[in-house]
Amino acid sequence: MRTFPILFQKELRSFFLSPLAWIVMALFTFLNGWLFASMVNVMRLRVSPRSLVYNLFDSGWFWMGFFILFPLITMRLFAEEKKMGTIEGLLTAPVRTSEVVLAKYLATLVVYLIIVAPVFFFFPLFQWITGEQAAFQSGAFWGSALGLGLIGMFHVAIGTLASAVTANQLIAAMLTFVFVMLHYFLGFMERFGLVTGSTWSETLTYFSTIEHMHSLSEGLIDSRPIVYYVSFSIVLIAITHHVLESRKWRT
Amino acid sequence: MIQVQNLTKKYAGRTAVDSISFEVGKGEIVGFLGPNGAGKSTTLRMLTCFLSATEGTASVAGFDIYDDSIEVRKHVGYMPENVPLYPDMRVIEYLQFRARLKGMRAREAKRAVEEAMDICSLAERKFSIIATLSKGFKQRVGLADALVNKPELLILDEPTNGLDPNQIRQSRELIKHLGERHTILISTHILSEVEMTCGRVVIIDRGKIKASDTPQNLIRRLRRPGEIILEMKNEAESVEKKLVKLDGVENVTSSQAYGGWSVFNLKTDPSIDVREDVFSLVQSSGWKIRELASRAASLEDAFVDLVSNSDEQAKSNVEKKETEEITS
């Protein structure tokens, strides 16, 4: 792991040297700030059985912005290096491929966390400004933070793999978007009537991002989604490693 | 420094490098010469562990390229074709990143980067963003990157590609200078470059090695007739007849030049220098002469001879036999 910190640092730097990271961060924060304000308004007009945290993360608006985020921050990871040819210089330096993959993945994960972090400042900020009684409990707050962390981990891994299979950033972005969406809609198959029978629908709820988020944003920390997202992320990152090493396979 | 044995690379349905073997000794500057698409870059990519060989083995600095890939990469400074760099980094930043990546400590890297920038005359542009550099400067950044950790071996893939004549001359001088400290393998399709910088040439064509020798020997081994050019102010036919009678002259052709001068082209036996005889003949006949020159075969001739185009390939088996002789 000698070169990991050097690569990690370089990845992070190049993110924040490009305008893309700042634009994505600003827009994402703006979108969610606006959404947060609307949610507060809605809850003022109508009595809601759910907490503010639950309602915010249950909103389709939130997920839409959320899913667009991943293609944007992951598409350049490997695709850009392949297109420019810098991957050749990178992988002919005395560097392990695993360190390159991990550095890129973890740096992007950190970028993701920095981008979503402002959302979690909204709640204490709201409390502080209005001085009202908490519209949520700390369990819901930390539970949903954990949830977004886990889901982000998984989605960044999808994006990393997508970026490794192509030299075209646009294709990488589309692959990421499609697979993130497909995974999300697995949880809606039952609601849409696409699957029937209790075995199927029960199985699918295990994959359902929105179900995971529901339970976590109620402060219910279940170990199943934790294991699910962590293990799938590891699998995807391992596949990414193999994709990059595949050029060295002897046929 | 480099030992290559039966190295082969097959892409789906196509053999890019076909069982090549060669060696590069310590301190040599070897030119890896071939037309575009001959398999030069693929070979260099295998030697630098970017690609793996389908068959065969190679060792670099005593380490196997497949089993000891990290060690190999520590001992090689590689400049890929077209010099890919990160456009949004500054020169000094990029070189420091590369030096650290190659295992140098921060302070050590700083000093090494200064030194490398010095060698490559980059000092004036060290804070420039790479995207704003001209091609010549980018090339120098690539070279500085390759030599920053003072590797024993430099592998440069078409280092002068796309440079202007002045820059080509500068980089040639630089490479010659680097040859004093490093073993160098450069691939190129520019012949003059090889002729001037390399002690030895490996010629590759369609994945196969056609020859491996010093440029001088390659030219000498060429079995092409000598050529003498003579420019005189005389009636062509009678002169031609007399010239053909000389010992060693095989064939004479002539053409008209401006102002009543004729140019005579003599094909001669390469083992005999006929210039003295030609001159005595001219003197005794009282011909007016303004040029007597022998055209030496160049590496270009050798190259063209060895690397025939595919449509010419079937032309003669004699040529093939000759090349086989040279290779063996």
The four Cα atoms B300, B303, B309, B315 give a dihedral, to 10 degrees, of: 110
**What is the SS3 assignment for B262?**
strand
- Average per-residue pLDDT in chain A? 88
B176–chain A Cβ distance below 8 A for any pair = no
> Domain B226-294, CATH 3.30.560.10 — does that match?
no
**Nearest residue to A156 via CA among A175, A170, A176:** A176
- Min CA distance, A197 vs chain B (Å)? 47
Q: Give the chain B residue nearest A18 (alpha carbons).
A: B88
**Nearest residue to B228 via CA among B278, B284, B298, B262:** B278
Q: Quote the ipTM score.
A: 0.87
CB contact under 8 A, A92 and B88: no
The CA-atom distances, in angstroms, between B225 and each of A61, B5, B81, B154 are 82, 35, 37, 38
DSSP B266: E
Measured on CA atoms in the order A17, A21, A25, A31, is the torsion positive or negative? positive
| DSSP state string for B11-41 | ETTEEEEEEEEEEE-TT-EEEEE--TTSSHH
The CA-atom distances, in angstroms, between A21 and each of A69, A114, B85 are 10, 10, 21
> If you average pLDDT over residues A30-42, what whole number do you get?
89
pTM metric for this prediction: 0.84
**Nearest residue to B58 via CA among B43, B70, B40:** B43
pLDDT of residue B314: 42
CB contact under 8 A, A93 and B84: no
pLDDT of residue A4: 93
Report the domain count for chain A: 1
Measured on CA atoms in the order B149, B150, B155, B159, is the torsion positive or negative? positive
**Nearest residue to B16 via CA among B35, B41, B50:** B41
Which amino acid is it at B64? D
- Who among B49, B78, B101 is closest to A3 (CB)? B101
Given a cut of 80, whether residue A164 has pLDDT beyond it is yes
B102–chain A Cβ distance below 8 A for any pair = yes
Helix or strand (DSSP H, E) at B53 = none
B172–chain A Cβ distance below 8 A for any pair = no
Assigned token pair, B124: 């004036």
- Say which residues have a Cβ less than 8 Å from residue A141's Cβ, sequence separation at least 6: A53, A120, A123
Task: Give the model confidence (pLDDT) of B188-202 as tens digits.
Answer: 877 777 888 888 989
B103–chain A Cβ distance below 8 A for any pair = yes
Domain limits, chain B? 2-220, 226-294
The share of chain A scoring above pLDDT 90, in percent, equals 51
> Domain B2-220, CATH 3.40.50.300 — does that match?
yes
B70–chain A Cβ distance below 8 A for any pair = yes
Assigned token pair, B298: 């160049």
Given a cut of 90, whether residue A82 has pLDDT beyond it is yes
| d(C-alpha A146, C-alpha B179), whole Å | 58
Helices (H) and strands (E) in chain B, counts: 13, 14
For residues A162-193, b (16+ Cβ closer than 10 Å) or e, as one string?
bbbbbbbbeebbebbbebbeebbbbbebbeee
Residues of chain B with pLDDT under 50: 310-311, 313-328
Strand partners, B2: B24, B60
Strand partners, B15: B10
- Say which residues have a Cβ less than 8 Å from residue B241's Cβ, sequence separation at least 6: none
The share of chain A scoring above pLDDT 70, in percent, equals 97
**What is the SS3 assignment for B70?**
helix
Cα B24 to chain centroid, rounded: 15
pLDDT of residue B318: 44
Q: Which of A6, A77, A82 to mutate against chain B (most B CBs within 10 Å)?
A: A6
Assigned token pair, B33: 């010469």
Q: Give the chain B residue nearest A17 (alpha carbons).
A: B88
pLDDT of residue A251: 56
Cβ contacts of A2 on chain B, cutoff 8 Å: 103
| d(C-alpha B198, C-alpha B185), whole Å | 9
> If you average pLDDT over residues A89-112, what whole number do you get?
95
B248–chain A Cβ distance below 8 A for any pair = no
Neighbours of A21 (CB within 10 A): 18
Residue whose structure tokens are 């590496």: B299
Assigned token pair, B57: 């083995």
Q: Are A70 and A180 in contact (CB under 8 A)?
A: yes
The CA-atom distances, in angstroms, between B49 and each of A14, A191, B5, B154 are 26, 52, 15, 14
CB contact under 8 A, B50 and A95: no
- Min CA distance, B51 vs chain A (Å)? 5
pLDDT of residue B321: 45
Residue whose structure tokens are 């295990």: A206
Chains A, B: CB contacts within 8 A come to: 71
**Residue ranges making up the domain that contains A240:** 4-248
CB contact under 8 A, B49 and A85: no
Task: Give the model confidence (pLDDT) of B212-251 as tens digits.
Answer: 888 878 777 765 667 888 888 877 777 888 888 888 788 8
- Who among A85, A92, A249 is closest to B73 (CB)? A92
Q: Give the chain A residue nearest B82 (alpha carbons).
A: A85
CB contact under 8 A, B73 and A250: no
